[in-house]
Structure 1
Amino acid sequence: MNKYKIMRYNPVGPTNMYSYFVTSNPPTSFNPISTYPTIDKTAFIGPFSSIIGDVRINKEVFIGCNVTIRADEGTPFHIGNKTNIQDGVILHGLKNMRFTVNDKQYSIYIGNEVSAAHGALIHGPCIVGNNTFVGFNAIVFNSIVEDGCYIDLGAIVTNGVRIPAKSYIPVGAVIDTQEKANALKNISEANENFSENVVKANIELSQAYSLKFGDTRCSCGLCCDSSTFKNLGN
């Protein structure tokens, strides 16, 4: 007879299926205005993610689990349509350092249909152009990445460089001078197709998760599926 007893976890009562933290930034000497995030109703915010301060999240954006988007120092942030910010990604910015997009200044500006893969760090001031892929554990800081680029895993883009459109940044590369940025090769068709497929998959995930949880989110920051409400009625 097996001396070890198998223990199974059975939740008692309602289960917290889905929680996140969304709030305004605390007023400080360098950022005295407290601003609440603006999040489109079609966006999905995953469990245990934080969105703080002057952040605009546009249509059909997917925010994965354990994402930190913290506009409490550098501000504001912009996240464009159909962009996905995957699990463990961090967005933060330095105070009083911004780039200008369409006559407005931003600490972080992320365009449309961008993928920020698991564990990436996007730190302002920076711009990430449309249809760009930021790979696993990659870092983008104090730089401008133009449209259609592919930043492979573990690469670093920094030091005020401007990455030309359709550039490929290799695995683990450190692009910290404009000479290095100008010498980059163009993105391959395979990487371009991969980037497009990542965007499509996460748009579908955003819609599917939103459908699963429906309109059950409330001001407490919790969201449960329909079985929770059935349990509450018992």
Structure 2
Amino acid sequence: MPLRQQPSPPTPWDRGLDQPQIHESAYVHPSTSLIGDVRLGHQVLIAPGTSIRADEGMPFYIGGNTNIQDGVVIHGLERGRVTGDDGESYSVWIGEHTCITHMALIHGPAYIGDDCFIGFRSTVFNAKVGHRCIVMMHALIQDVEIPPGKYVGSGVVITNQSEADRLPDAKTTDHRFSHHVVEINRALLAGYRCADDVACTTPLNNGHRSETARPQTDRLQEQLSAEVLEQILGQLRLGNQIGIEQADARHFKVGSWQSCPPLEGTYPQQVLDSLNRRMTEYQGNAVRVFSIDSHKQRVMEWLLQRPIPS
């Protein structure tokens, strides 16, 4: 049974049985647990398997064009509030055009600004994350205020303000990737809304066939999952190199790969452009990329495309 309209249960701290307030353009997947005084703005996407529970701490606000991805948990303590951009008091405020990605935990009191990216399994608790911040995977942000425009790397723990103040600025490529994820999820929102309507889905499918009007890098990013792209960009931020290999259908079956010329470029966007050229060059073959650390050890590997059977 979908829980999207369930009120918060009667408790010692709230007897009002508050209902979620959902903008008509937002989408909440039926498997979501959406409970209590949760306010969703326009074009918000709440993906499958999330739990957004405004019972003890409340209210929650999630701004327009923000996506809450699979498995995210949002909850709040009874005590402690943040001030939203509207000047009102909230247990959790999440701004506009922000990505809260798979399995992240946002626990109020918490404020996350506009145009932010919170990576897989990261936790934000009793903290404020300013506008345009990028938080990568498995990070912990607690009891601090992250200034606007900062970058928090994978696995980083920020629990005192001096650490937060020393964080580096997010790069243009990081923001470009965050915006790309927002656009992916806007397309998902449209797809969810009309999944059972053939007349509706036909224009969506046709819209992806206008290949010549988009830059090559945009087409590459459509082929790669958001998770793989985040992994590649994260490895580049660590200073690791990205290599590439290819195999036709026959060699792919026996695990025999051929090294390709190295990817060119110093900046992440240049590397992605180079990767696009390699994938075009080896169209029809299997292509995989891998990360090499400073000790020349292979540390990560991703299969980008499978071969076309001969």
Q: TM-score, normalised by structure 1?
A: 0.81
1:79 is matched with which residue?
Answer: 62
Instruction: Tell me how far apart the structure 2 counterparts of residues 172 and 31 of structure 1 sit (CA, whole Å).
Output: 36
Task: Tell me if the contact between 1:113 and 1:132 (Cα under 8 Å) persists in the aligned partners.
Answer: yes
Q: Is the 8 A contact 1:83 1:199 kept in 2?
A: yes
Q: What letter is aligned with 2:135?
A: I
Q: Secondary structure of the equivalent of 2:194? A: helix
Inter-partner Cα distance in structure 2 for 1:100 and 1:111 = 12
Q: Matched residues in 2 for 1:51 and 1:213: separation? A: 23
Which of 163, 170, 176 is the aligned partner of 1:193?
176
Unaligned runs of 5+ in 2: 198-310
Partner AA of 2:93 in structure 1: Y
- Could you tell me how far 1:213 is from its partner in structure 2? 4.4
Aligned residue pairs: how many? Answer: 195
In structure 1, stretches of 5+ residues that fail to align are 1-18, 215-234
Q: Does residue 154 of structure 1 match 2:99?
A: no
Give the match's secondary structure for 2:181.
Answer: helix
User: Displacement, 1:88?
Assistant: 0.1
Shift of 1:44: 1.1
Runs of 4+ in structure 1 deviating by more than 2 angstroms, as ranges, are none
Cα-to-partner distance string for 1:105-140 (whole Å, 9 max, x where unaligned): 100000001100100000000000000000000000
Aligned pairs for 1:30-69 (under 5 A) are 30-69=13-52
Question: Could you give the per-residue CA deviations for residues 11-34 of structure 1, whole angstroms, max 9, x where no partner exists?
Answer: xxxxxxxx5212100121111221
Q: Greater CA radius of gyration, 1 or 2?
A: 2
C-alpha separation in 2, matches of 1:189 and 1:213: 38
SS in structure 2 at match of 1:20: coil
Matched with 2:193 is 210
CA contact (8 A) 1:20 1:45 kept: no
The reply to whether residue 21 of structure 1 matches residue 13 of structure 2 is no
Distance of 2:87 and 2:29 partners within structure 1: 32
1:146-194 CA distances to partner (integer Å, 9 max, x unpaired)? 10000000001002x1101110001100110110000000001221111
Partner of 2:72: 89
**Higher RCO structure (Cα 8 Å, ≥6 apart):** 1
* 1:176 has 2:167 as partner: no
CA deviations over 1:18-59 (Å, ceiling 9, x no partner): x52121001211112211000011111124111000000111
Aligned counterparts of 2:27 and 2:82: Cα–Cα separation in 1: 27
Instruction: Calculate percent identity across the aligned residue pairs.
Output: 38
CA RMSD for the aligned pairs? 1.1
CA contact (8 A) 1:77 1:106 kept: yes
Task: Tell me what 2:285 maps to.
Answer: none
Which of 117, 133, 139 aligns to 2:117? It is 133
Q: Which residue pairs with 2:87 in the alignment? A: 103
Contact 1:80/1:112 (8 A) holds in 2? yes
* Distance in 2, Cα, partners of 1:71 & 1:118: 20
Which has more helix, going by share of residues?
Answer: 2
Normalising by structure 2, we get a TM-score of: 0.61
